[in-house]
Amino acid sequence: MNYYVKVTLLWLVPLILLIGSLMLGTTGNLTITELLDYVNKLITNNGVINAPQETILWKVRLPRIVLTFLVGSSLAVAGAVLQAIFRNPIVDPFTLGISSGSAFGAALAMLFPIMSVNLSAFIFGVCAVAFTYLVSFVGARTTIVSMVLSGVIVSGAFTALLTLLQYMSDPYKLQAIIQWTMGNLHTASWQKVQSAFGPIILGLVVVLLLRFKLNVLALGDNEALAVGINPKYLKLALIAVSTMITASAVAAVGVISLFGLIVPHMTRMAFGPNNNIGIWANISIGGSFLLIIDDFSRAVMPFEIPVGVFTMIIGTPIFIILMRKSLSIWSS
Amino acid sequence: MKSIINIKNLSFSYGKELALNKLNAQFDAGKLSIILGRNGSGKSTLFNIMAGIQKKYDGQVYFDGCERRNIGTGKKRTIRIGFLNQFHHTTFPFTVREVIMTGRASFQNFAPSAADKEAVILILERFNLLHLIDKSYISLSGGERQLVLLCRVLVQKPDILMLDEPTNHLDLHYQIAVLKCIKELANEGTTVLCVMHDPNLAFMYGDNLYIMQNKQLVDIKDLEYRQLHVLLEETYQIPLVQLDNQGRNLFVPKI
C-alpha cells in the first residue's frame, strides 16, 4: 500500500470509527441520518431534541468512546516508547510493574476508602515503576536486563499483596476488585475522561516532541553517545512520561492486558520502526483498535465481556501471528 | 604540531585487574593517529574512556584543554567527538536513511531540518552507498553495516573522530576505501584516532603510530625500522620478516 494512502488512513479511520461507534449500542442502533439530524439540531439549536437519545449519546456513548480512544492510544504509545528504549520487542507498559501496582492501589482504596480508587491506582502504579527503577540500579547505573528483571520482581510483590487483600476482603468487595482489574470501560463517564485527559494529552505531546530522539535511543546507549546525545536523561524522561500515561489509563479503566505489547508490533509491520511516523500511527491504531474491540463487546455480544479479558483472548492469536512473521527480523 | 588530546597519568582497573597503568599520550590535531596492540592489551579500555563511555578512571584526559568528563552532549558541547564502537546489535529494522539520520540528532531540537536530510544524502554519496538508502539496515552485509555506521558518525561532522577497528568485517576493497576516506578526513582537518589490528595497513595510512605495551602507550613513529622490528615481535610474540613495499616497511609472519 502506498505510504501516503496509509498516512491518510491514519486520520480517516479513527474519524469513521468515532461516528460509527456513536451509532452502535445495546439500546438500539442509530442510522447515520438520525445521528446527523441530532447533530444538526444540536448545532442550530432548533427543533426538539429527543431527551433519552441525548442522554444515551452524550452521557453514555460519547464519554466511553473518547475514553476508549485515549486509553488505547496511551497504552500503544507507552508500549512503543518502552520497546524502543529497552530495544526489546517483548516489553510492554506493564513490564515495569504498573499494572500490578495500580491493581493493588485500586483494591486498597476499595477496602479502605481513604482516597478515590482512580487516584490510588495512579499513585501505586507510579510507585511500582519507581521501585523497579530503584531496584534495578546496579553500581550507579541501570541496564535493560536488570530493569526488566526488577519489573518482574516488583510485579510479583504487588500481585502477592493484591492477593492478600483479595483474601481478606468480603465477597462483595472481592467482586468489585476483580471486576476492576479486568478492565471496565463500561463505567466510563465525563468525570473519568476529565481526570485522564490532562496527563494523557500532556504525555502524548511530550512523546511526540521527542519521537525523533527515540530512534537514537533505539540504536543503543553507546550509539547515542557516539553522536553526542546523552541517553540518560532522555530515557528517564521518556520512562516517566510512559508511566504517567499508562498509570492514568489504568486508573481510569483498569488493566487492559497485552494491548500495549501488540499494537506497537502492528504499527511496525505497517509503518516500519521509524518513530517519526510510528508514534502518530500508534495513537491512531491504538485508539481505533481498542474502539473496535469495545464496539464489538458492546454491540455484538449478548453480554459485555470485560475489555481486559477480551484483549487477552484475541491478543494471544494476534501476537502469535505477528511474532512468527517478524521472528526473522528479531533473531538476526 | 599542536596536540589536541592530552592524556596524563591515566590508570584504570577492572576490579583488581589493572588495565591501564599511568598512561601518558598526546595526539596531534588534524592527523590520523593509529593505536596498535594485542587483543586485551587495553586498547578498547582506552578507547571507551576517551569516548566518554567509561568515566571512572584515575588521571586526566583533556580534549582541547577540557577534561573529558566535563564535555557535555547535545547542542551545548564545545567539541564534537564522534566514535564508532566495535560491536553493534540492533533490534529494529530501521532503514539506512533512518540510521544515518540519528547521527544528526545532536543538531536538532525536535525534528530534522532540510540541512540534516541533505547531509545524509551527501555522506552516502561520498561512499557510493546511495543505492542502500531505503534498504533495511538489518538486511545489509557486515561490511555494508560497518560503512553505514561510519557514515552515521561522520554525518555529525565531528572535530575528533575515534574508530575502534573500523576495518573489521570488511573485505580488502572496503578496508582500503574506509582508510582512504579516514585519511582524507584527517587531511581536511579532522583529528582521527583509530584502533587497528593490522600493522601494515597502519604503516601505510597512519600519520602517527602508537603501540599498546605493558598497559602504556608507546609512540613508535620515530623508531628506526630495526627497533620497530624488535618491538613488533615482542608485542605480537611471533617472529617477523621485514619486506619492502614500495619504499615502506612491511612486516609479515615468518613461517
Q: Count of CB atoms within 10 A of residue A233's CB? A: 10
Consecutive H or E run containing A152: helix A144-168
- Verdict on whether the full-model pTM lies above 0.90: no
CB contacts of B84 in chain A (<8 Å) are: 226
Query: What CA–CA distance (Å, rounded) separates A32 from A19?
Result: 9
Radius of gyration, CA atoms only, chain B: 19
Please indicate whether, in this complex, the C-beta atoms of B105 and A216 are within 8 angstroms of each other. yes
Please indicate whether, in this complex, the C-beta atoms of B53 and A213 are within 8 angstroms of each other. no
List of chain B residues with pLDDT < 70: 1, 87
Give the tens place of pLDDT for each residue, B91-146.
788 999 999 999 998 888 788 888 999 999 999 998 888 999 999 988 888 778 88
Domains parsed from chain A with CATH numbers: 3-331 (1.10.3470.10)
What average pLDDT score do residues A71-94 get?
A: 90
**pLDDT higher than 70, residue A141:** no
Query: What CA–CA distance (Å, rounded) separates A14 from A8?
Result: 11
What average pLDDT score do residues A97-121 get?
A: 89
Confidence of residue A329 (pLDDT cuts 50, 70, 90): low
Of A87, A227, A228, nearest to B91 by CB-CB distance is A87
Q: Which of B56, B102, B151 to mutate to probe the A interface, most A CBs <10 Å?
A: B102
Domains parsed from chain B with CATH numbers: 31-57+79-222 (3.40.50.300)
- In this predicted structure, what is the pLDDT of residue A52? 77
CA dihedral A274, A279, A281, A286 (to 10 degrees): 130
DSSP string, B172-221: HHHHHHHHHHHHHHHHTT-EEEEE-S-HHHHHHH-SEEEEEETTEEEE-T
- Partners of B242 in the beta sheet? B251
Which of A21-25, A76-80, A313-317 ranks highest by mean pLDDT? A76-80
User: Which region among A139-153, A182-196, A223-237, B105-119 has the lowest average model confidence (pLDDT)?
Assistant: A139-153
Q: Which of A3, A91, A143, A219 to mutate to probe the B interface, most B CBs <10 Å?
A: A219
In angstroms, how far is CA A164 from the centroid of its own chain? 27
- In this predicted structure, what is the pLDDT of residue A332? 43
Of B95, B99, B110, nearest to A212 by CB-CB distance is B110
SS3 A270: helix
Nearest residue in A to B151, CA atom: A227
- In this predicted structure, what is the pLDDT of residue A21? 87
Give me the helices (H) in A87-143, please: 98-111, 117-135
What is the ipTM, given to two decimal places? 0.83
